Structures are given as C-alpha cells and as structure tokens.
Amino acid sequence: DVKVTQSSRYLVKRTGEKVFLECVQDMDHENMFWYRQDPGLGLRLIYFSYDVKMKEKGDIPEGYSVSREKKERFSLILESASTNQTSMYLCASSQDALGTQYFGPGTRLLVL
C-alpha cells in the first residue's frame, strides 16, 4: 500500500512565523503535490514537483515556497505565516503526472 505521511496533524502558529510542512511518500513516486482545502473551495493546488529539485507553481503559489531535495520528501514553506493561510494542507503523490494521486492525512494549520 502507498503511504503518504505528513509531519503534523495539527499546527498552531503566530502571524509572521516561518512554517515548515513536510510530506514523505514511500512508493518512489515521481510526482508530489501540495494542496490546501477550504470549505466550499475544494482542493486548490499550491505547488507540485515532477522530479527531485524541480518545482512548478500551481494555482495559488503566492505566500508559499517548496523544496524537494530527495525524491521521497516534499516540503511546503510559509515564509511569513498570515491568518489567511489558516487551512487544511494536503500532500499527495503519484507515479504518473495524470495518474492516481495518493493523499496524506493532512495538516490542519491555524495561524493566530
């Protein structure tokens, strides 16, 4: 079974703090994704990566950056957290760019 894990289930941070969200997958997948999920808006793609050290902007990259130094690990960074970044963050991975995505359990981030 594919396993995608995320570093935290719940996180509380203060405005202006730097936040790191980490995601690890154990299936040697090429592609990894970061989404945020908000009520009524579905899942919105922040960034994705199709290879180590490669990254592509999604639909809402502003205020975020990512890092993929190893194939199995994809990190999402909030350089200076703001209250409008309070959300559920979901990481996913897939073998094929257009294939099935396997999601992690999510990190619910609250920025005060």
Partner 1 sequence: GQQVMQIPQYQHVQEGEDFTTYCNSSTTLSNIQWYKQRPGGHPVFLIQLVKSGEVKKQKRLTFQFGEAKKNSSLHITATQTTDVGTYFCAGTSTDSWGKLQFGAGTQVVVTP
Closest CB 8 distance from partner 1, rounded Å: 14
Binding mask 26-65 for partner 1 (x = CB under 8 A): -----x-x-x----xxxxxx--x-x-----x-xx------
Read out DSSP for 30-76? SEEEEEEEETTTEEEEEEEESSTT--EE-S--TT-EEEEEETTEEEE
* Of residues 104, 79, 77, 100, the one with CA closest to residue 90: 104
Shortest distance, CB of residue 3 to partner 1, whole angstroms? Answer: 12
Task: Provide the minimum distance between the beta carbon of 103 and partner 1 in the complex, in angstroms, as a whole number.
Answer: 4
Q: Judged by CB under 8 A, how many residues of this single chain contact partner 1?
A: 25
Nearer to partner 1, 18 or 57 (CB): 57
Under the binding rule (CB under 8 A), the answer on residue 97 touching partner 1 is yes
Q: Considering the complex, what minimum distance in angstroms separates the CB of residue 41 from partner 1? A: 6
CA dist 52 and 45 (Å) reads 19
Question: Do 55 and 69 meet the contact criterion of CB atoms below 8 Å apart?
Answer: no
Contact 109, 21 (CB under 8 A): yes
Q: Does 107 bind partner 1 (CB under 8 A)?
A: no
Q: What angle is formed at CA 33 by the lines to CA 107 and CA 68, rounded to 5 degrees?
A: 95
Give contact residues for partner 1 (rule: CB under 8 A).
31, 33, 35, 40-45, 48, 50, 56, 58-59, 90, 97-106
